[in-house]
Amino acid sequence: MGKPRIRKAILVERPNRFLGVVKLDDALTEVFIPNPGRMHELMVPGNEVFLRENSAPHRKTDFDMIGLEYNGVLVSIDSNLPNRFIKQLLNSRKLSIFEPYDRVVSEPRAYEGRFDFRLEGPSGITFIEVKSCTLVEEGRAIFPDAPTIRGARHLRHLAASLKDGVASRAAVIFVIQRPDAIVFSPNDNTDPTFGAALRHAHTDGVEVYPLITDVVDWELKLIRIIPYELEYYSQE
């Protein structure tokens, strides 16, 4: 079975977080947006967007909006893609910051919830959370672009896993789905609670890894880890 076909369309409006209206073949078409973020700088009517055909029988729409070009940069907006990307890197041992380990467990239960990954190996347990980042301002990737109570809770739980001795390592990975960032910071203007949680977690031993990627055939390709600055960041 071949890959789903990719189509180009023009964004008309975004009635809600997960629904877009586009002009495709001179007709207005509703499409699914697999990203709950605000993405105000990207979701501008008139922008050209990329759609992936989806013929699953239970779907209400026939297309997913998966990306667009912004200032000449191809940006993936599929928030499901980073987890698949990190899982592939972990399974193929291509993310050397976490070696050695013997087993990768997806969505392990912990603290009445789930983390994204658990690594098991001779040095103990590592918990990993993955966050999708699409917002870059003047070379600075910032997260989140909408308040996330869940994201702050994940950070507190990562820190707790170290304090409680449940894990020997804990990390949060920010997958930046575009290649034009040179530094990462929390977006305190939008969600100061998340920013504070990230700084506290880092102080408590949680590792922070911002990864920039290139979008190749609508999959992510790792470029490198970039530096981070966790102090308050303001565009003003």
Per-residue pLDDT tens over the stretch 193-214: 999 999 999 999 999 999 999 9
Peptide linkage before 144 cis (omega within 30 of 0): yes
Q: What is the dihedral of CA 18, 147, 219, 9, to 10 degrees?
A: 40
Asked if 55 and 62 touch (Cβ cutoff 8 Å), the reply is: yes
Chain centre distance of CA 162: 23
Q: Looking at the domain 81-225, which fold is it?
A: Trna Endonuclease; Chain: A, domain 1 (3.40.1350)
Asked if 6 and 50 touch (Cβ cutoff 8 Å), the reply is: yes
What global pTM score does this model have?
Answer: 0.94
SS3 28: strand
Per-residue confidence (pLDDT) for residue 60, from 0 to 100: 86
Phi-psi region of 29 (alpha: psi -120 to 50; beta: other; left: phi over 0): beta
Per-residue confidence (pLDDT) for residue 59, from 0 to 100: 79
Q: Which CATH number fits domain 6-70: 3.40.50.300, 2.40.50.100, 2.40.50.580, 1.20.1050.140?
A: 2.40.50.580
Residue 215 has, within 13 A of its CA and on its CB side, a CA count of: 21
Spell out a b/e string for 187-214, using b for 16 or more CB atoms within 10 Å of the CB, else e.
bbebbeebbbbbbebbebbbbbbbbbbe
In eight-state DSSP terms, residue 62 is S
In eight-state DSSP terms, residue 145 is S
Spell out a b/e string for 50-84, using b for 16 or more CB atoms within 10 Å of the CB, else e.
bbbeeeeeeeebbbbbbbbebeeebbbbbbebbbe
Between β-strands 183-186 and 140-143, what pairing exists: parallel, antiparallel or unpaired? Answer: parallel
- What residues of the chain score a pLDDT lower than 50? none
- Domain map (residue ranges) of the chain: 6-70, 81-225
> Residue 25 corresponds to which tokens in the numbers above?
């073949």
In eight-state DSSP terms, residue 13 is E
Cα–Cα distance, 170 to 124 (Å, whole number): 11
Asked if 51 and 43 touch (Cβ cutoff 8 Å), the reply is: no
Per-residue confidence (pLDDT) for residue 1, from 0 to 100: 53
